[in-house]
Amino acid sequence: MSPVCSVVRPHSLPSAGRNHPQDFSPVRAGGRDGETRQNDAVTQLPVYYYSSTSNLIRRFAGRLHAHDGRPVLDLSDRAVRTGEASEAWVLLTPSYKAGNDAHATLPAAVRAFLRAPATRRRLVGIIGSGNRNFGDHYQAAARELARVSGRPVIFEFELAGTPEDVVECARVLAAFDERFIGRAGRK
């Protein structure tokens, strides 16, 4: 696969410091920066997602939740989008291509959610959805956000994903649960 073009411009990311790695300084799972929760009921990292009117990502998120009960939060909900992540979290985002390089970007709801510095710091991984018909732009938004934030793309799938994609994504997320929460995220 050829290298991904830079389609998410640094100025389009919502950081006050404009593309500074410290804006994405990691924190451990917990309520406040640097705190780790002890004896808490949280066993799975929440997945925040955005889905367009096609509902492809909403379907994937719903199947992920049905598979293992993972909390999924819809960024098209204004209350979620304008809130702040209170713990380590994973982003599930589509890549869109609107006809040329300058228009392939993160959805506005994702950019709005990433405006809060604490939310950016608590991001631990990115799941990307895309359409292979976009060629070099397939997964471009997830990969560019990973490059800018220093967070890994932990899983990629096409369109609404397959049942096998859901199982594999849940497996990858369970490993992240253990790493960031300290115990298995599976039921």
The residues spanned by each domain of the chain are: 43-181
| Residue 182 Cα distances to 97, 177, 186, angstroms | 38, 7, 12
Q: Which carries the bigger pLDDT value, residue 94 or residue 10?
A: 94
The span from the CA of 48 to the CA of 161, in Å, is 17
Say what the pLDDT of residue 136 is.
Answer: 78
Q: How confident is the model at residue 98 (pLDDT cuts 50, 70, 90)?
A: low
Q: How confident is the model at residue 183 (pLDDT cuts 50, 70, 90)?
A: very low
Residue with tokens 């999924």: 72
Q: Coil, strand or helix: which one is 6?
A: coil
Amino acid occupying residue 114: L
Are 29 and 45 a contacting pair, CB within 8 Å? yes
Token pair, residue 174, equals 């369970």
The span from the CA of 152 to the CA of 64, in Å, is 19
Q: Is the pLDDT of residue 128 over 60?
A: yes
For 54-58, 60-64, 168-172, 183-187, which range has the lowest pLDDT when averaged over its residues? 183-187
Q: What is the mean pLDDT of the chain?
A: 76
Q: Which superfamily does 43-181 belong to? A: Flavodoxin domain (3.40.50.360)
Average pLDDT over residues 160-175: 95
Say what the pLDDT of residue 81 is.
Answer: 87
Token pair, residue 11, equals 């100025």
Torsion of CA 166, 168, 171, 177, to 10 degrees: -60
pTM of the model: 0.74
Q: Closest by alpha carbon to 150, among 40, 52, 62, 21? A: 21
Say what the pLDDT of residue 174 is.
Answer: 95
Q: Is the pLDDT of residue 34 over 70?
A: no
Are 104 and 78 a contacting pair, CB within 8 Å? no
